[in-house]
Structure 1
Amino acid sequence: MTALAPLNQLISRFQEQTPIRASSLIITLYGDAIEPHGGTVWLGSLISLLEPIGINERLIRTSIFRLTKEDWLTAEKVGRRSYYSLTGTGRRRFEKAFKRVYSSTLPAWDGSWTLVMLSQVAADKRKQAREELEWQGFGAISPTVMACPRGDRGDVLATLQDLDVADDSIIFETRAQDVLASRAMRLQVRESWKIDELAQHYSEFIQLFRPLWQALREEDQLRPEDCFLARTLLIHEYRKLLLRDPQLPDELLPGDWEGRAARQLCRNIYRLIYARAEEWLNRNLETADGPLPDAAESFYKRFGGLN
């Protein structure tokens, strides 16, 4: 238990999940804390780091084994110790997902759209294609047409090729137009991207972490371990939110969009506690060469700059 009541509540909330999503939390830890420091750590130090969150050694070992089988992690034996790092595939997955977490701003939108027509795709493959495109920020504007205001043709084509449906799909790119969305456009966006549901998830995130922000600001001397636990749970919950968020341009979102407040809150907490959390990581994580290497320069560019 920590001295911060809101942090204890967040830890208890994580432990009450059924089942506990240990694998997902380990991926968060690698992306947020381990990868910036070279990407490789001893399994024993990983176990001691995560036990205060309520993940026992057996569950961590099982999760690490599963992540290795799924090509997220790879192991290297040095004597009797095992050191785990992200695979090349795992690193590419991580970079794609975490880039959205730490970016300071989204690129400006010029009013253009990417459309993918799936009417000629077999029904059994169409559902999978829709799901994969939704992960990339597409929304369904009809049962067979997906649309995205930020679609990258190269990424879309690669996805369709991986699913073996590229030859049966049609990709359109519209010209840039007035970025001010009409009433009809806003209603369509709300329907196709389930904006109200996403706003509710952001509101829940704010309700969860605002008390933590207040408690951290009032604390005279922040404990490194508390900062590490808070930072890990903060990014874990925020990352899960962003997986659902298509990152639509501001022009298409409600004026009181909760996602903006959630991002500001996440950034504020992270900037406040990251340095003390780094102290705890340096004290507890171990590589085959000994102490943890210094964080890469790119780490300090997160959220528009940490220093």
Structure 2
Amino acid sequence: MKLMTSTEWIARFLATDPPRSKSLVMTIFGDAIAPHGGTVWLGSLIELMAPFGVNDRLLRTSVFRLAQEGWLVANRDGRRSSYSLLPQALPRFERANRRIYAPLTAHWDGSWTMVLAASGTLDAPTRATLRKELAWEGYAQIAPGIFGHPAAGADVIEELLVRHNARGKLLVCRAAELAGVSTRPLRELAAEGWDLSVVVDGYHGFMAQFRPLLALLEQEAQLTAEEAFVIRSLLIHAYRRVQLHDPMLPVELLPDPWPGVDAYALARAIYRRTQAAAEQHIMAALTREDANAPRADAAFYQRFGGLA
């Protein structure tokens, strides 16, 4: 029986699970553009998006909407235009990078970060937005107006409060079990706060989709630079999609075994096999519009515990 090639795998992936253009632009900005200074000329971006079947019109609509949503900013230079990561959006990109590329090593100190929104302190739109963003950061709604997470840092909450003009309007504190009181263990909040079955299914689906690809890459002699870029981008796009639902709990509060560990190892193996050739394709596209386009920064080579 003839084995599938990586080219055929790409074609099948794009035919059966095509990424939405706006979401894919976000993936490529985070994975490929951010390490190269965070700015890309539209012509280069069109070239990078073409292998995914995203045409000029779809791309222009996508970047326009991302600019409206506060992720990108457009710059004009005569008849040419470029797009950059909005400075205010950089903290969110950096947190997303930590979720995707950093090893799963968060440990629990026994306490929780609690966010309390008293009735009447926020208007309805701000309350709804903060609830959505807290959920994205992995917070669970413990009770009406009360959100908690066992491993969240102060920087995340402060950035959210500043961005939504909510400083001084929420109560944020650390909670720990009170010694000498017959109380339920705080670790039980994890089981009640999150339904991890969706995350578990997502990781298993990701691995079922990409394990055959790793086997192909181990057998094939060499990918083209464009194929490596497409595979790396689809890998991060699919992995990021699962991680959006992962609350990133400390390892002590996760089921054992946790499929996120194997999914991370799989993503790391494929990324390491494709990153060098993918960088060649990215640099070729960037330098066609800007001869001085920067190479990937040092932080890029720390992804997934270090790239060869």
Fold equivalence (TM over 0.5): yes
Question: Structure 1 stretch 20-29 or stretch 207-216: which is displaced more?
Answer: 20-29
Give CA-to-partner distance per residue, 1:257-297, whole Å, 9 cap, x none. Answer: 11111111111110111001111112222375415322111
CA deviation after TM superposition for structure 1 residue 231, in Å: 0.3
**What is the distance in 2 between the residues matched to 1:88 and 1:185?**
38
Q: CA deviation at 1:303?
A: 0.7
SS in 2 for 1:286: helix
Aligned-CA RMSD value = 2.8
Query: Match for residue 111 of structure 1?
Result: 110
| C-alpha separation in 2, matches of 1:161 and 1:39 | 23
Change beyond 3 A, Cα 1:183–1:249: farther
Task: Extract unaligned runs of 5+ from structure 2.
Answer: none
* Separation in 1, partners of 2:84, 2:168: 37
Percent identity of equivalent pairs: 41
Q: Describe how 1:285-300 pairs up with structure 2 within 5 A.
A: 285-286=286-287, 289-290=290-291, 292-300=293-301
Q: Name 2:10's counterpart in structure 1.
A: 7
Aligned residue for 1:4, secondary structure, equals helix
- The residue that corresponds to 2:95 in the other structure is 96
Which deviates further from its counterpart, 271-280 or 124-133? 124-133
The 1:187/1:92 distance shift into structure 2, 3 A limit, reads closer
List per-residue Cα deviations over 1:81-119 (Å, max 9, x = no partner).
222221212333322222221113434321211122335
Which sits farther off after the overlay, 97-106 or 292-301?
97-106
What does residue 47 of structure 2 align with?
48
Give CA deviations for 1:27-79 in whole Å, capped at 9, x if unaligned.
Answer: 11111111211222221121122111111111011112222233322233334
In structure 2, the residue matched to 1:247 is 248
Letter in 1 for 2:171: I
Correspondences of 1:209-248 after superposition (within 5 Å): 209-248=210-249
Instruction: Give the Cα separation in 1 of the matches to 2:80 and 2:305.
Output: 38
How many matched pairs?
A: 299
Identify the residue that residue 149 of structure 1 maps to in structure 2. 150
Contact 2:71–2:89 under 8 Å retained in 1? yes
Instruction: Call closer, same or farther: CA 1:170–1:92 in 2, change over 3 Å.
Output: closer
Query: Secondary structure at the residue paired with 2:244?
Result: helix
Structure 1: stretches of 5+ with no match in the other structure:
none
Higher deviation after alignment, 61-70 or 127-136: 127-136
CA distance in 2, matches of 1:36, 1:287: 18
Q: Which residue of 2 aligns with 1:264?
A: 265
- CA change 1:246–1:89 in 2 (3 A) is same
Distance in 2 between the 1:154 and 1:29 partners? 25
Q: Which residue of 2 aligns with 1:37?
A: 36
Q: TM-score, normalised by structure 2?
A: 0.86
Structure 1 pair 195–105 and aligned structure 2 pair: CA distance change class (3 A) = closer
Matched-pair contact (CA < 8 Å) for 2:106–2:251: no
Judge conservation of contact 1:78–1:288 (CA < 8 Å) in 2. Answer: no
Amino acid at match of 2:32: A
**What do residues 172-199 of structure 1 show as CA deviations (whole Å, max 9, x unaligned)?**
3124899xxx997666423311111111
Partner Cα distance (1:24, 1:254) in 2: 30
